[in-house]
Structure 1
């Protein structure tokens, strides 16, 4: 069995970008990784080793499973999400599957679940419910429970919906069938979606068939090798996936060799074209809120003014009044120029570029 190693392209500002790629296209490296709470094949807990695996993968957006936040001694009661995001300098959202009382009063809650790390701003994220058979109940029955992560991510003028999941591990596929149905219902409203996760089922498993009606398997699109991902020390099955909705241009997919977990990470390079999944005014408003929360503005008045402009744009978008949309977005750009001294360079350039994208979409 052959494990493919990622051949990393030249990286510009943390984003996978081919040398000969047209300037108006962007290749994003997506990934999934069941991190086994940071415990490697040697049985040792080593979060630094796992962080280095993620760094070396070149991932721009990665879905993680089996993440501990102050959970237990197995991970030294660490907040793994905060440590990884600080180490890798990425935005994040954590979606607990289990959220338990602390062992003692005044201590943080014990949480276990899934997460997304992103080099791009996460505009909005939710912890959605799907069917689960709890491992924390003595006599569990399938019922809706948290642990399906949905994130709206801003990728240089494009709006991408990124999902992270971890399906039931039991040999009986009944719960996975319910989970697949629930995930399809949630993801069906967005055409530009990426679904990542440990499905605990191989590609030929009947319970996954409905997913492949809605999503394309990036590995199957680009490889003839089996792409085994589990167990990492001697893999003999493929149960970890990066799936995309039809129409996204998949360049390649790789399985990364690492002993940092009992699973191997999977990456997929996907090319986005400007205008393919454009932002609207409400998404730009969410981006302003994101930059405000990150301290990229020095004036609350400036933030309020920008959001008022975008509220007007949303009003005219709803009425499909293209001329008014363009007029108010030009005003938004002038306001940005006026406020430039009070905005970080990154926030200014990003908002200005996205304003141009939105204007061109309505002209």
Structure 2
């Protein structure tokens, strides 16, 4: 059995509640959490002035000494005499070796959405990791997108689906996730959040908006073979409009099915 610390965090392109873009404080927050896996949403790579046209994914990977896997949801040509493509999407920063990664465009209208499906090496096996950011506009789009991401980790192997799902875990459009996965927040015996001790919202794992959280849209879903010992909502108010969610996982390895004749690895 392998212990894995995982953080999922909607970065809001590194802009905190003070309106400042500051990747240094993002890196400090994540470094203090000391996760093995960091699953990020709303990450800019040379995207716009709002993030000073920097490559946020690469800078954070280097600052934390993690391997980077990238999933652009938006990919546009350079602008204003710049040479880098303007990209925005999801990132995985991994202390564990990344064996493979693949980008999956998701259905739906409005802002383009994608999912990053990676396979990481554990001490005694592997873990399937899907990082995504579902539509904020329409429940029907979220339902279609959730159906895609729920089917990405192969059946019978330990896996997680994480990200900003823009709906409560009990929302009807996320029911397809509950058919294969369990909500890590509900499984965790030890959990804490950013609500005050006497708040009626305490213990609910609310993550957004960071200043006064009202909804639990940042989630981790785990397959059979992945247990949850703890879940904690960290304080991200200085770095984003979301709070990060940290989960402590224990992964029981499973044998990977043999490829059928003719299948590519």
TM-score, with structure 2 as normaliser: 0.87
Higher helix share: 1
- Contact 1:61–1:116 (CA<8 Å) still a contact in 2? yes
Residue aligning to 1:47:
23
- Superposition misfits of 4+ residues, deviation over 2 angstroms: 184-191, 276-282
Deviation at 1:250, TM superposition (A): 1.2
Partner in structure 2 of residue 89 of structure 1? 65
CA offset at residue 76 of structure 1?
A: 0.3
Aligned pairs for 1:189-338 within 5 A? 189=155, 191-222=157-188, 225-259=203-237, 260-273=239-252, 276-278=253-255
Cα drift, residue 213 of structure 1: 1.6
Q: 2:40 aligns with which of 44, 58, 64?
A: 64
Say if 2:78 and 2:84, in contact at 8 Å, map to a contact too.
Answer: yes
Separation (CA, whole Å) in 1 of partners of 2:214 and 2:146: 23
Residue range with higher mean Cα deviation, 26-35 or 216-225: 216-225
Q: 1:120 to 1:280 in 2, by over 3 A?
A: farther
Report whether the alignment pairs 1:114 with 2:90.
yes
1:209-260 CA distance string (max 9 Å, x none): 1211211111011258211000111111100001110231211111111221
Question: In proportion to residue count, which structure has more strand?
Answer: 2
Instruction: Name the structure 2 match of 1:185.
Output: 151
RCO higher in 1 or 2 (8 Å CA, sep ≥ 6)? 2
Cα-Cα RMSD:
2.3
Pair 200,90 (structure 1): closer, same or farther in 2 beyond 3 Å: same
5+ long unaligned stretches in structure 1:
1-24, 136-144, 283-314, 316-363
Cα contact 1:69–1:81 (8 A) shared by 2: yes
Partner of 1:35: 11
Deviation of the 1:32 alpha carbon: 0.5
Decide whether aligned partners of structure 1 residues 206 and 134 sit closer, same or farther in structure 2, where only a CA change above 3 A counts.
same
Q: 1:280 to 1:210 in 2, by over 3 A?
A: closer
Are residues 1:155 and 2:91 paired? Answer: no
